Amino acid sequence: MTRDTILVVNAGSSSVKVALFGEGTSPVESFSVTEVGGAAVLKTAAGERPCAAPDHEAAIGLLLETAAAAGFPVARLAGAGHRVVHGGRTLIEPVILDGRAIAAIEACVPIAPLHNPHNLAAIRALGRRAPDLPQVGVFDTAFHATNPEVALRYAIPATEEARGIRRYGFHGISFASLVERLPAILDGPLPGRLLACHLGNGVSLCAIRSGRSVATTMGYSPLEGLTMGTRAGGIDGNAVLRIAADHGIDGAARILNRESGLLALGHASDMRALHAAGTAEARFAIDHFCYWAVRHAGSMAAAMGGLDCVAFTGGIGENDAGVRARICAGLSFLGVAVDGQANARGAPRIEARGSLPVVIVPAEEEAWIAAATRRLIAGQGG
């Protein structure tokens, strides 16, 4: 049987999602198990059904069985690519997941306790189920390793910085995929100074100069930066200490990560629900989201020394014409303007005549992971 398919794995705290890729950029099959450890549900194109998945090991086994039943047994897989949230300082490009790489991912657990343990659980489970299958780690922080040290370093004592307290940035897989595909959309070279806007439930901006990240809005964790679905975004450190004093560390983490952002301001974390609600609170939440996007965009432009192109991706970035229009209006002083009709229909290019390019780039993170995995395995002779 020809080994011609890449399995892409995205493991979270209570879910495991997989997608199967051939040579194309669209998955040939996608499956997931949600509510791992609880009332688990297997989701396929045919529908949903309850399943037994007390842990990630069981979820991976069930997903491999589902893939085999769909015509993709392990013997047909060329390799597996894992989305790993945090690569720290050392894992700054896709790597074959040998013992050394797995140990390096584990060393990042203290700085990514909400994410890396679940990524590791899936890596190890798949290794036990398919020990001969090459596995590759692709890191969400890696794209930002090109930021200058002055951008990465917090102004804190060296002893704390040595413990890993520094800016890392996230959404790197999304930004790397966007950079790779943008020239085809523009039918020209990659712009020298690109503002990339990943707008979804998680939100971050990236200043990309000559294809390399030079600044981004997320920091030590995905909490920093813009207003998000349930995350507070930027907040004074002493305010965090006050919340922790009042509610304890776990309570503060819950409030800032799960009960803040659009949810706290407008009573819904989904931008579509806020538009539909039409309440004063919902309108304020949208105002807040757009204000901080524009304000941080100005910072990104400063980090690049100007602006040549704006690109939107992510669920809000790709689908919310109103938000795109408001952000671009706020950037008019930088030469940004949108064509109302092109923006309303979600055309690939939405800039008005005389504006610098404004582009919508559909997110294809899984496809980028698959392609990176295939390239690395081929280079290793796998």
**CA-wise closest residue to 153 among 220, 99, 239:** 220
Q: Do 5-139 and 188-229+265-365 show the same overall fold?
A: yes
- pLDDT band for position 1 (cuts 50, 70, 90): low
pLDDT at 248 over 60: yes
Ranges 1-10, 101-110, 328-337: which has the least confidence: 1-10
Contacts of 132 (CB under 8 A, 6+ apart): none
- pLDDT tens-digit series, residues 55-88: 999 999 999 999 999 999 999 999 999 999 999 9
- pLDDT tens-digit series, residues 35-55: 999 999 999 999 999 999 999
- pLDDT band for position 2 (cuts 50, 70, 90): confident
Of 140, 308, 320, 339, which residue is the catalytic one?
Answer: 140
- CA pair distance 132, 80, nearest whole angstrom: 11
Tokens 């952000």 belong to which residue? 327
CATH 3.30.420.40 fits 5-139, yes or no: yes
- pLDDT tens-digit series, residues 113-168: 989 999 999 999 999 999 999 999 999 999 999 999 999 999 999 999 999 999 99
Cα R_g (the chain), whole angstroms: 21
Contacts of 18 (CB under 8 A, 6+ apart): 7, 8, 9, 10, 30, 31, 32, 63, 67
Task: Return the domain boundaries, the chain.
Answer: 5-139, 188-229+265-365
Residue type, 39: A
Map the chain to HEC letters.
CCCCEEEEEEECCCEEEEEEECCCCCCCEEEEEECCCCCCEEEECCEEEECCCCCHHHHHHHHHHHHHHCCCCHHHEEEEEEEECCCCCCCCCCEECCHHHHHHHHHCHHHCCCCHHHHHHHHHHHHHHCCCCCEEEEECCHHHHHCCHHHHCCCCCHHHHCCCCCCCCCCHHHHHHHHHHHHHHHCCCCCCEEEEEEECCCEEEEEEECCEEEEECCCCCCCCCCCCCCCCCCCCHHHHHHHHHHHHHHHHHHHHHHCCHHHHHHCCCCHHHHHHHCCHHHHHHHHHHHHHHHHHHHHHHHHHCCCCEEEEEHHHHHHCHHHHHHHHHHCHHHCCCECHHHHHCCCCECECCCCCCEEECCCCHHHHHHHHHHHHHHHCCC
Q: Are 176 and 196 in contact (CB under 8 A)?
A: no
- CA pair distance 371, 201, nearest whole angstrom: 25
Mean pLDDT in residue range 263-273: 98
- CA pair distance 217, 236, nearest whole angstrom: 15
Supply 32's token pair.
């997931």
320 a catalytic residue:
no
Strand 5-11 with 15-21, pairing: antiparallel
**CA-wise closest residue to 275 among 348, 351, 326:** 326
Supply 349's token pair.
């290019």
Tokens 């997320």 belong to which residue? 218
- CA pair distance 309, 183, nearest whole angstrom: 11
Task: Give the pLDDT score at 381.
Answer: 53
Task: Give the pLDDT score at 239.
Answer: 98
Q: How far is CA 355 from CA 198, 264, 293, in A?
A: 21, 35, 19
- The larger pLDDT score, comparing residue 266 to residue 378, is at 266
pTM of the model: 0.95
Architecture per CATH, domain 188-229+265-365, reads as 2-Layer Sandwich (3.30)
Q: At what angle do helices 99-107 and 116-129 cross, to 10 degrees?
A: 160
- CA pair distance 367, 174, nearest whole angstrom: 10
- CA pair distance 259, 277, nearest whole angstrom: 19
Q: How far is CA 335 from CA 289, 298, 338, in A?
A: 21, 12, 10
Task: Give the pLDDT score at 87.
Answer: 97
